[in-house]
Chain A
Amino acid sequence: MSDGIAAHAPLHEHAHHPALQHQFNTMEQQQETVTLGMWLFLITEIMFFGGLFMAYLLYRVWYPEAWAEGSVELDVVLGGLNTVVLIGSSLTMALAVRSAQVGAPRATVGWLGITMALGATFLVVKGFEYAHKFQAHHVPGPDFVFEGPHARQVQIFLSLYFAMTGLHALHMVIGIGLLSVIAWMAHRRRFTPEWYSPVEMSGLYWHFVDIVWIFLFPLLYLVDRAHHFV
């Protein structure tokens, strides 16, 4: 028998936690339900990005030379820096969840603040990278210019680069917005060790966005790098 049923038992037994919604019987049931919902949502996100990864796979197999040419155009130093920044932000996010769990609201706000700052750093660096692409006319579309034998195919590579990193950046923006709400709630002492699921759920989301980047970085920046450095 699933635990969902055990959690239903005795109805309206004692005083409600103020965060308990009317459709749930216990805080445990609510907590488990919210967590399951968040994981399911992240699965839909995987499928959402999955379409782009599918397109990436197809064209990488079709146009390996263009992929190598396009990839070298990307700034691996800034990309690498951003990778470090994001991994760092996942650490601070985990510390924020931990602080909420042990009932340390000031630390929660602090860690959330650092996480948001790291996220913003990532976006600023990304902005510089994009600006550089605009100046070099490497943005797909009518103004696209590329010297080389596979200009058209490189355009597809850069289209996917912008689509994938753009969508990822959009998720970062949403994440920072989400964290600012959570930080404000933490500041108002809304979370207790009994109820901090919004912090935990935002954490799951933040880690997911981080993991997407962990895939994007090698797939976009590190194609045939070794060969080109030799």
Chain B
Amino acid sequence: MTTPLLPREHYLNVRYGIKSWLLTKDHKRIALLYLITVTGFFFLGGAFAVLIRLELATPAGDLLSSDTYNKMFTMHGVIMVFFFLIPSIPAILGNFLVPMMIGARDLAFPRINLLSWYIYILGGTFTLWAVIVGGVDTGWTFYTPYSTAASNTNVVATGLGVFITGFSSILTGLNFIVTIHRMRAPGLTWFRLPLFIWAHYATSLIQVLGTPVIAITVLLVALERTFHIGIFDPALGGDPVLFQHLFWFYSHPAVYIMILPAMGVVSEVVACFSRKNVFGYSFVAFSSLAIAVFGFLVWAHHMFVAGISVYAAMVFSFLSFAVAIPSAVKVFNWTATLYRGAIWWQAPLLFVFGFIGLFTIGGLTGLFLASLGLDVHVHDTYFVVAHFHYIMVGGAIMGYMAGLHFWWPKMFGRMYPEPWAKFAALVVFVGFNLTFLPQFILGYMGMPRRYHAYPEEFQVLNVMSSAGATILGVGYLIPMIYFIWSLRYGRAAGPNPWGATGLEWTTQSPPLTENFPVTPVVTEGAYEYSKREMRVV
């Protein structure tokens, strides 16, 4: 077999200079702009997590004052949710891959795509400014009346940051929906689309329909805080529970903005590394849409102890259980795809195995929390913290890592070092479980979230958690190092190092600015692995 060489001309070397990046309309370059900035926010959010876990290594509140600690978990949450998790897969991998997977030259609106990155930067700047001038301590949920009447931290600046960034998310989602509808290559019917595209379509629906609601809600919080207009303030006749309804109307579906794209990645990777068609393709495709739709109908399960009526609580509890059905459809179908497949043990698949296991635990504990009786017991404890970290870190970030490894050769034309990547997958998996499994037990035993001190009997489990967080941090630093290393020293990948199906693998790596020399014509489904010969690199 001949060693592949890098192509002579591609989107990275077609133009040089800072202007060619900051004014680019190429979706691939914009994806890289997002990659750099989102990674920056990831490590900043991670730094706050380090301080949280350091404080919790001992029962006494000795490292950080309770006020500082409140700011740490707030800024960890705000940055990780709004500036890392929500843009991570859609704005980086989605931006890069959606046009390539459907055989288009670019997204429908390239200028709006660039605008969305600048809006993200502006929102990020506001939030960073709020962090620098003293931070914010309301929790990422900005609950009223604390955020409007009591907190004396930078709620308005942070809220504006979230408000602005929301529009970047809206524009990305809008661009994807329109692109998927109107820009598909000849022959690429809806049921020939890769499941990554279906997942991004569902995600975009949530971004477009949900994000405006959080925008207006945060705006009302800012107005309430500045002018005391009474909308959310019970002292003035307002209703703080209305805030919670409006907040969770977006922020629960936002969880699916994080997890659905990761599910899209999993479908691609599972099919490729088991060399099989995805089992039950149309069920997996429609389950993405079902999750998006059900996701809008479950928000009040965050409010079971907020004084909502018991009948409303029962309905929301039932609907929350209903979300488990499409989620389980995905997990079972991935498993069935792997079953008797020709498994190829590569790093993307290892991350995906991590995803499937951890997401299943996160999802099942979500069912515990959706049960009315049990939720009252574990509400606002570490059980909840562990649950949503299994979804967001164990699920979304595992999927993000899998996708980054899978498409890295396509993005930069070079391979990452496989043994190191396998090692990193293992470190992340071990570190993650050591961090968050003890938190389930802590929560079940009654340790509340958001306190900087705790009774001594909780120390052993907390030390385990902090030790795990250290390992997890190392697990994220290793890929950072070898990815950068691979940009220069990685082996040239060639167009299709994995022998994968999918239009993005039919063109050179890194691709041309217009992606394909000639618009491809599609004649078969997305996962015709059975028709291909197995190829081992």
Counting chain B CB atoms within 10 Å of each CB, which of A7, A40, A152 scores highest? A40
In angstroms, Cα B238 to Cα A33, docked, is: 43
In angstroms, Cα B230 to Cα A142, docked, is: 11
Q: Evaluate whether A23 and B107 lie within 8 angstroms (CB atoms) in the complex, with A11-B519, A48-B216, A54-B246 already known.
A: yes
A175 to chain B minimum Cβ distance, whole angstroms, is 18
Counting chain B CB atoms within 10 Å of each CB, which of A11, A58, A159, A163 scores highest? A159
Report the nearest A residue to B105, measured CB to CB.
A23
Task: Give A contacts to B, CB under 8 Å.
Answer: 1-2, 4-5, 7-9, 11, 21-25, 29, 32-33, 36-37, 40-41, 43-45, 47-52, 54-55, 58-59, 62-63, 140-142, 152-153, 155-156, 159-160, 162-163
Residues of B within 8 A of A51 (CB): 212-213, 216-217, 220, 246
Report the nearest A residue to B27, measured CB to CB.
A23
Instruction: List the 6 closest A-B pairs by CB distance, nearest first.
Output: A51-B216, A48-B212, A159-B229, A47-B212, A23-B106, A140-B229
Task: Give B contacts to A, CB under 8 Å.
Answer: 99, 104-110, 170, 174-175, 177-178, 181-190, 208-213, 215-217, 220, 223, 227-231, 236-239, 242, 245-246, 514, 518-519
Are A159's CB and B231's CB within 8 A? yes
Residues of B within 8 A of A141 (CB): 227-229
A146 to chain B minimum Cβ distance, whole angstroms, is 12
Report the nearest B residue to A166, measured CB to CB.
B223
B424 to chain A minimum Cβ distance, whole angstroms, is 36
Residues of B within 8 A of A5 (CB): 184-189
Are B181's CB and A44's CB within 8 A? no
Report the nearest A residue to B207, measured CB to CB.
A44
Report the nearest B residue to A33, measured CB to CB.
B182
In angstroms, Cα B223 to Cα A155, docked, is: 13
Counting chain B CB atoms within 10 Å of each CB, which of A5, A52, A152 scores highest? A5
Are A142's CB and B228's CB within 8 A? yes
| Contact among A2, A23, A44, A55 for B208, CB-based, below 8 A | A44
Are B229's CB and A40's CB within 8 A? no
In angstroms, Cα B230 to Cα A160, docked, is: 10
In angstroms, Cα B178 to Cα A49, docked, is: 22
In angstroms, Cα B107 to Cα A63, docked, is: 48
Are B209's CB and A155's CB within 8 A? no
In angstroms, Cα B241 to Cα A58, docked, is: 11
Residues of B within 8 A of A9 (CB): 186
In angstroms, Cα B242 to Cα A160, docked, is: 14
Residues of A within 8 A of B178 (CB): 33, 36-37, 40
Beyond A5-B186, A54-B242, A163-B223, list 7 extra A-B contacts (CB 8 Å). A5-B184, A36-B181, A40-B177, A44-B211, A55-B231, A140-B228, A152-B237
Are A23's CB and B216's CB within 8 A? no
Report the nearest B residue to A3, measured CB to CB.
B182
Residues of A within 8 A of B216 (CB): 48-52
Residues of B within 8 A of A40 (CB): 174, 177-178, 208
B462 to chain A minimum Cβ distance, whole angstroms, is 39
Are A23's CB and B183's CB within 8 A? yes
B522 to chain A minimum Cβ distance, whole angstroms, is 9
Are A50's CB and B181's CB within 8 A? no
In angstroms, Cα B246 to Cα A114, docked, is: 39
Residues of B within 8 A of A48 (CB): 212-213, 215-216
Residues of B within 8 A of A59 (CB): 239
| Contact among A21, A25, A33, A153 for B237, CB-based, below 8 A | A153
In angstroms, Cα B220 to Cα A160, docked, is: 10
Residues of B within 8 A of A63 (CB): 237
Residues of A within 8 A of B183 (CB): 4, 8, 23-24, 33
| Contact among B110, B227, B237, B238 for A23, CB-based, below 8 A | B110
A152 to chain B minimum Cβ distance, whole angstroms, is 4
Are B227's CB and A8's CB within 8 A? no
Residues of B within 8 A of A153 (CB): 237
In angstroms, Cα B216 to Cα A54, docked, is: 11
Q: Evaluate whether A163 and B236 lie within 8 angstroms (CB atoms) in the complex, with A1-B189, A9-B186 already known.
A: no
Are B239's CB and A58's CB within 8 A? yes
Residues of B within 8 A of A2 (CB): 181, 184, 190
In angstroms, Cα B240 to Cα A58, docked, is: 12
Are B174's CB and A44's CB within 8 A? yes
In angstroms, Cα B105 to Cα A33, docked, is: 14
Are A29's CB and B182's CB within 8 A? yes
Report 27 cross-chain contacts, Cβ distance below 8 Å, ordered by A residue. A5-B186, A5-B188, A5-B189, A8-B184, A8-B519, A11-B519, A21-B110, A22-B514, A33-B181, A33-B183, A36-B177, A37-B174, A40-B174, A43-B208, A44-B170, A44-B209, A48-B216, A51-B212, A51-B217, A54-B246, A55-B231, A55-B242, A58-B242, A141-B229, A142-B228, A152-B237, A155-B236
Report the nearest B residue to A21, measured CB to CB.
B110
Are A45's CB and B231's CB within 8 A? no
Are B182's CB and A32's CB within 8 A? yes
In angstroms, Cα B188 to Cα A4, docked, is: 10
Residues of A within 8 A of B185 (CB): 5, 8
Residues of B within 8 A of A156 (CB): 229-231, 236-238
Q: Evaluate whether A23 and B108 lie within 8 angstroms (CB atoms) in the complex, with A48-B213, A140-B227, A163-B220 already known.
A: yes
| Contact among B182, B190, B228 for A36, CB-based, below 8 A | B182
Residues of A within 8 A of B110 (CB): 21, 23
In angstroms, Cα B237 to Cα A62, docked, is: 10
In angstroms, Cα B245 to Cα A59, docked, is: 14
In angstroms, Cα B104 to Cα A161, docked, is: 46
Residues of B within 8 A of A11 (CB): 518-519
In angstroms, Cα B238 to Cα A22, docked, is: 52
B429 to chain A minimum Cβ distance, whole angstroms, is 38
B212 to chain A minimum Cβ distance, whole angstroms, is 4
Are A22's CB and B105's CB within 8 A? yes
Residues of B within 8 A of A23 (CB): 99, 104-108, 110, 183
In angstroms, Cα B187 to Cα A2, docked, is: 10
Are A160's CB and B231's CB within 8 A? yes
Residues of B within 8 A of A152 (CB): 230, 236-237
B438 to chain A minimum Cβ distance, whole angstroms, is 39
Are A8's CB and B186's CB within 8 A? yes
Are A140's CB and B230's CB within 8 A? yes
In angstroms, Cα B211 to Cα A37, docked, is: 16
Counting chain A CB atoms within 10 Å of each CB, which of B107, B183, B215 scores highest? B183
Counting chain A CB atoms within 10 Å of each CB, which of B181, B185, B217 scores highest? B181
| Contact among A1, A22, A47, A142 for B106, CB-based, below 8 A | A22
In angstroms, Cα B247 to Cα A54, docked, is: 12
In angstroms, Cα B110 to Cα A139, docked, is: 43
Report the nearest A residue to B110, measured CB to CB.
A23
